[in-house]
Amino acid sequence: MSTAKVDLHRLSRVANWAIPGLAVASLVAGMTVSFWFHFLTVFFLLLTVMNLFYRFVQTRHTILRNFGAIGQLRYVMESLGPELRQYFFSNDTEERPFSRVERAEVYRKAKGIDAAVAFGSQLEFGPKEIKLRHSMYPTPHDELEPFRLTFGEERGIASAYTIDKPIMISAMSFGALSEPAVRSLSRGAKHAGIAMNTGEGGWPKHHLEEGADLIFQMGTAKFGVRDEGGLLDDAKLRKLAALPQMKMIEIKFSQGAKPGKGGLLPKEKITAEIAELRGVPMGEDVVSPPSHPECYDNASTLEFIQRVQEVSGLPTGIKFCVGSLDQTAEFLREMAHSKIFPDYIAIDGGEGGTGAAPKPYLDSFGMPLMPALRGVHTILTDLEIRDRTKLIAAGKLIGAAKWTMALAMGADAIYSARGFMLALGCIQALHCGDNTCPVGITSHDRTLKHGLVISDKAQRVQQYVHGSVHDFEEILCSTGVKSARELCMDNLYVPPQSILAGENRA
Amino acid sequence: MTTDPNPSPEAAPAARPLWLSLLLWTCKLGAAGILGYAGYLKLTSNPGDIELFETLGMEPFGRYLIGGLECTAAGLILIRQSAVYGAFLGLGVMCGAIIGHLTVLGPAHIEGAILVAVLCLVILYVRRRDAPFIGNMIDW
Ligand SMILES: Cc1cc2nc3c(=O)[nH]c(=O)nc-3n(C[C@H](O)[C@H](O)[C@H](O)COP(=O)(O)O)c2cc1C
């Protein structure tokens, strides 16, 4: 055995004798040398008692039973670990889900800092990375067509909704987010001129408060529009859809962080107000069913989509995370066959975020965004129905370069959830589920929300949008296209060994 | 727990029976009163204490230090959130006092120190779940 190694077992045996030993030694010193030594006597005496408690009284922690006070050091170290790693030891590109390099860029945009970065990229240029292709003949900025996308134009409805920026705020409910977070996002969205999804949190009281254009999300529990049996209440939906701020309805089938499972709001986060807006009891986790009771096969699902379109009178989209492209293809074929089309399909990548999800679902379920998006786009094109609906992409698209890649893969618009949380000042502490978010974005604790000043953060949101849209336009010019609609796989360098490479040349 | 505006029912601590609350407050007031008064006398250079600390060989800094610690403990004991810390500090100072009586000063007046130590132990016991490190290991 090497002698240089720290042997915790031996160390603790020494410590377990040394602590009472030092108490006795201090006592002797206090009696013979100076009474001051008795400060140490008392200290070691109390430590001895504590150590005995650890080793012989408590039964919860094996390490403390076996090693005593020395073992406590391990727990202290462990609890400091994530912070130490984040502050000192993680390198700039290795943190998950968002590396420091990625987060720093959002923070810069949100703060309106227009900084160039020097010397070289921190990212991989290995054979696995997808990159954008620039053109030898970039488009002059004044020849770039402004972005325009109209949801519902295929059906020719009067309530068709047009956006003039590619980005929208993806679903995050009040409940998952705190009140000031929701209001900052809503106010920021209004100032930036983008739409915001309400998430599946019931009546969107705080979303409405600040006046942004809203997309109402109907989760599987249908908070806000449910009847007693948990089915859709047409009257409630009609009332909600009649609000002037309400621009679109989104039926959520699944989300990338927990596909195949319903929404989850832990009991720690359920306040009286949240319980009221959702119509749920306090004191227990709120678990939504894994699917809509009205939708049990492709035909009934399309029928339900049509019903929501008719009742709401608004453009109505659906959101899901792809599990199997074959099953999705079945569904899309049925769509082509029945001629019922949602006004958009939002594809959420398996890498999507959440306020709370069981670990296996977070980590191990759902197709990643890019292949799912590419697959759905290809199927729609093959079925010759690509022009009957719009595609929205979501999944870690937190900057203009990523937006461009998703648009080139087939998306028409972009959803981001966590990009906007970062813009609000999220430090990726990963405490969204237990009401202890240190920056108050996902905590309803009064003292933690205190730090989130709405007027300030709304401006960050607005600047994040403006900065990113500016980048986006620059990128479009460099790729040589005249509008976002022209983007296609030719604008991407996809490594030949990638499954996405398919029809693309290296 | 005081910072959570909406504690869930399970998270709320079981209500303390009245007799236990009365006991806790009696101990808190007793310990804080004695510690505070003793600290006050030391800080205001009461002749008896000066003599005592001369015997210990700690005049005057030891007297100020101990007096300060006693007053701090008294204050902490009275505040709900810091009662365990105050009781722990009080217990520590009283251990020192007891050692002093046993080794240098002689057993006269030792009962005061023992009384305060016991009061602190009761506070620690009643509020054991608030204790740092060990509080969450206790399920009794
Ligand atoms: C805090 C939080 C709450 C969310 N709440 C919902 C929700 O209520 N409904 C939903 O469909 N998706 C929800 N999502 C998923 C996002 O809308 C989005 O689909 C996903 O996070 C991918 O986007 P991102 O990578 O930009 O975060 C939530 C995500 C986060 C981080």
Which ligand 1 atom is the nearest neighbour of the CA of A421? 31
A338 part of a folded domain: yes
From the CA of B4, how far away is ligand 1's center (Å)?
25
Residue nearest to atom 12 of ligand 1 (CA): A171
| Residue A229 backbone zone (phi > 0: left; psi -120 to 50: alpha; other: beta) | alpha
Report the C-alpha gap between B140 and B135 in whole angstroms: 10
Q: What's the average model confidence in pLDDT over A319-348?
A: 97
Q: A61 with A135, same domain?
A: no
Q: Which among A58, A89, A120 is the end of a domain?
A: A89
Chain A hits for B103, CB-CB cut-off 8 Å, are: 30-31
Q: A344 with A264, same domain?
A: yes
Question: What pLDDT is stored for residue A505 in this prediction?
Answer: 42
Question: What pLDDT is stored for residue A503 in this prediction?
Answer: 56
Q: Is the CB of A352 under 6 A from ligand 1?
A: yes
Q: A348 with A473, same domain?
A: yes
Please provide the average confidence, as pLDDT, over all residues in chain A.
Answer: 92
The alpha helices in A37-153, defined as continuous H runs, are 38-52, 62-67, 69-84, 100-110
Residue A34 has pLDDT above 60, yes or no: yes
Q: Is the CB of A102 under 6 A from ligand 1?
A: no
A126 part of a folded domain: no
Instruction: Note whether B96 contacts A39, CB cutoff 8 Å.
Output: yes
Instruction: Note whether A42 contacts B8, CB cutoff 8 Å.
Output: no
Q: A236 with A357, same domain?
A: yes
Size of chain B, expressed as the number of residues it contains: 140
Q: A174 with A71, same domain?
A: no
A113 part of a folded domain: no
Residues of chain B with pLDDT under 50: 1-12
Which DSSP symbol is given to A347?
E
A106 part of a folded domain: no
For residues A423 and A460, the answer to whether their CB atoms sit within 8 Å is yes
Instruction: Note whether B58 contacts A27, CB cutoff 8 Å.
Output: no
A240 part of a folded domain: yes
Q: Is the CB of A198 under 6 A from ligand 1?
A: no
pLDDT for A282-327, tens place per residue? 888 899 999 999 999 999 999 999 999 999 999 999 999 999 999 9
Chain A hits for B3, CB-CB cut-off 8 Å, are: 445-447
Q: Which among A89, A118, A147 is the end of a domain?
A: A89
Residue nearest to atom 20 of ligand 1 (CA): A352
Structure tokens at A329: 């293809």
Q: A29 with A172, same domain?
A: no
Q: Which among A38, A65, A89 is the end of a domain?
A: A89
Question: What pLDDT is stored for residue A416 in this prediction?
Answer: 98
CA distance B30 to chain A (A): 22
Name residues whose C-beta falls within 8 Å of residue B124's C-beta, 6 or more positions apart in sequence: B84, B87, B88, B91, B131
Chain B hits for A46, CB-CB cut-off 8 Å, are: 88, 91-92, 95
From the CA of B138, how far away is ligand 1's center (Å)?
38
Q: What's the average model confidence in pLDDT over A6-33?
A: 90
Question: What pLDDT is stored for residue A117 in this prediction?
Answer: 83
Half-sphere exposure of A232 (CA within 13 A, CB side): 24
For residues A167 and A194, the answer to whether their CB atoms sit within 8 Å is yes
Least confident of A56-70, A204-218, A242-256, A399-413: A56-70
Question: What pLDDT is stored for residue B4 in this prediction?
Answer: 37
Q: A160 with A69, same domain?
A: no
Confidence of residue A236 (pLDDT cuts 50, 70, 90): very high
Continuous segment of H or E residues that includes residue A317:
strand A316-320
Q: A377 with A478, same domain?
A: yes
Q: Is the CB of A476 under 6 A from ligand 1?
A: no
pLDDT for A406-457, tens place per residue? 999 999 999 999 999 999 999 998 899 999 999 999 999 998 999 999 999 9
Residue A483 has pLDDT above 60, yes or no: yes
Confidence of residue A251 (pLDDT cuts 50, 70, 90): very high
Q: What's the average model confidence in pLDDT over A49-57?
A: 89
Domain count for chain A, please give it. 2
Domain that holds residue A27: 8-89
Continuous segment of H or E residues that includes residue B79:
none
Residue nearest to atom 4 of ligand 1 (CA): A172
Q: A264 with A410, same domain?
A: yes
**Which CATH number goes with the domain that contains A160?**
3.20.20.70
Size of interface A-B (CB pairs under 8 A): 68
- Which of A216, A186, A187, A185 is CA-nearest to residue A201? A216
Of A38, A43, A446, the CB nearest to B99: A38
pLDDT for B20-46, tens place per residue? 999 999 999 999 999 999 999 999 999
Question: What pLDDT is stored for residue A5 in this prediction?
Answer: 65
Chain B hits for A446, CB-CB cut-off 8 Å, are: 3, 5
- Angle of helix A38-52 versus helix A8-32 axis, rounded to 10: 150
A410 part of a folded domain: yes
Q: A135 with A79, same domain?
A: no
Which ligand 1 atom is the nearest neighbour of the CA of A395? 25
Chain A hits for B56, CB-CB cut-off 8 Å, are: 35
- Which of B128, B131, B130, B132 is CA-nearest to residue B140? B128
Tracing tokens 């012989």 back to the chain, one arrives at A56
Continuous segment of H or E residues that includes residue A31:
helix A8-32
Residue nearest to atom 30 of ligand 1 (CA): A354
Name residues whose C-beta falls within 8 Å of residue A9's C-beta, 6 or more positions apart in sequence: A66, A67
Q: A218 with A329, same domain?
A: yes
Residue A248 has pLDDT above 80, yes or no: yes
Residue nearest to atom 29 of ligand 1 (CA): A354
CA distance A494 to chain B (A): 50
Q: What's the average model confidence in pLDDT over A178-195?
A: 97
Q: What is the DSSP string of A58-75?
A: --S-HHHHHHTHHHHHHH
A210 part of a folded domain: yes
Residue A43 has pLDDT above 90, yes or no: yes
Q: Is A485 helix (H, G, I), strand (E, B) or coil?
A: helix
Q: A82 with A203, same domain?
A: no
A1 part of a folded domain: no
Distances A316 to A295, A307, A333, A340, A378 between C-alpha atoms, Å: 16, 10, 19, 11, 22
